[in-house]
């Protein structure tokens, strides 16, 4: 699987170009599935934000509103009830999975429960575009700082990549560089603090930062 791990989506030409290179064809020819699941685990998210994501409302123009050939919804919490014979073909036929933010531990739980986590190694050509928790879920841990789901057993996630991500740098009062430094000191490295204009491309274990904004590395 090819990964484009972002804080805020495809927010500038550099990230857009990286995405097109990963896809190997224009966005207008690509079929996408959007995964909103992480939103349900975060107290700041809910029906209105999920609707905005799925409807590609203005706030999500840099993600679901990029002009995909088709855009479907894959709700991971529903998958265990319908059988893999139905949903696995949907995933295999998609060019890209658009995985939104929320709580990464909740998303991790449902990726495992649904079977999607086990399916990922068999999708070498599929592109995973993460926003916030949708990126953090691919790392080994997110740090207690970012755990919002009350039922999370700990801060561990999927360990698909060997790096850690502090998203939304300087976007919120609680996501300052000082906050990132404290988080990094607690969680260890290698770690990246990234803003809304930054993404991390991972292909075959090779990591490349793609940015028109601010990023800082810790312990790399």
Find all residues with CB under 8 Å of 72, minimum gap 6, and list them: 31, 32, 33, 34, 90, 94
Q: What is the pLDDT of residue 188?
A: 83
Q: In what order do the strands lie in the sheet with 215-218?
A: 164-166, 191-194, 215-218
Can you give the pLDDT at residue 189? 77
CA-CA-CA-CA torsion sign (174, 180, 185, 190)? positive
**Global pTM?**
0.96
| pLDDT tens-digit series, residues 52-110 | 999 999 989 999 999 999 999 999 999 999 999 999 999 999 999 999 999 999 999 99
Domain count for the chain, please give it.
1
Cβ atoms of residues 169 and 194 within 8 Å: yes
- Contacts of residue 86, Cβ cutoff 8 Å, sequence gap at least 6: none
CATH number reported for the structural domain that contains residue 51 in this entry:
3.40.50.880
Residue numbers of the chain with a pLDDT score lower than 70 = 220
DSSP symbol at 132 = T
Domain ranges, residue 186: 2-218
**Residues 184 and 166: beta-carbon distance below 8 Å:** yes
pLDDT at 220: 63
Three-state DSSP state, 136: helix
Distances, alpha carbon 119 to alpha carbons 1, 115, 180, 201, in Å? 10, 6, 32, 20
Burial class (CB in 10 A: 0-12, 13-18, 19+), 70: exposed
CA distance 3 to 139: 12
Tokens of 67: 């002009």
């Amino acid at each position: 699987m090819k990964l484009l791990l972002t804080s805020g989506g495809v927010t500038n030409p550099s990230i857009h170009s990286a995405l097109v290179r990963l896809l190997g064809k224009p966005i207008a020819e690509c079929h996408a599935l959007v995964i909103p699941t992480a939103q349900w685990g975060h107290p700041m998210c809910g029906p209105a934000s999920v609707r905005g994501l799925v409807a590609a409302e203005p706030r999500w123009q840099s993600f679901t509103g990029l002009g995909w050939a088709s855009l479907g919804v894959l709700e991971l919490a529903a998958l265990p009830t319908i059988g893999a014979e139905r949903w696995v073909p949907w995933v295999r036929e998609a060019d890209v999975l658009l995985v939104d933010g929320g709580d990464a531990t909740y998303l991790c739980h449902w990726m495992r429960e649904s079977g999607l986590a086990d399916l990922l190694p068999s999708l070498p050509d599929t592109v995973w575009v993460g926003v916030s928790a949708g990126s953090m879920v691919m790392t080994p841990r997110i740090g207690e700082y970012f755990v919002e789901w009350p039922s999370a057993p700990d801060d561990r996630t999927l360990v698909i990549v060997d790096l850690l991500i502090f998203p939304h740098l300087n976007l919120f009062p609680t996501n300052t560089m000082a906050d990132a430094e404290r988080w990094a000191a607690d969680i260890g490295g290698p770690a990246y603090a990234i803003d809304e204009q930054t993404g991390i491309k991972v292909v075959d274990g090779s990591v490349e930062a793609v940015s028109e904004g601010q990023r800082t590395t810790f312990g790399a």
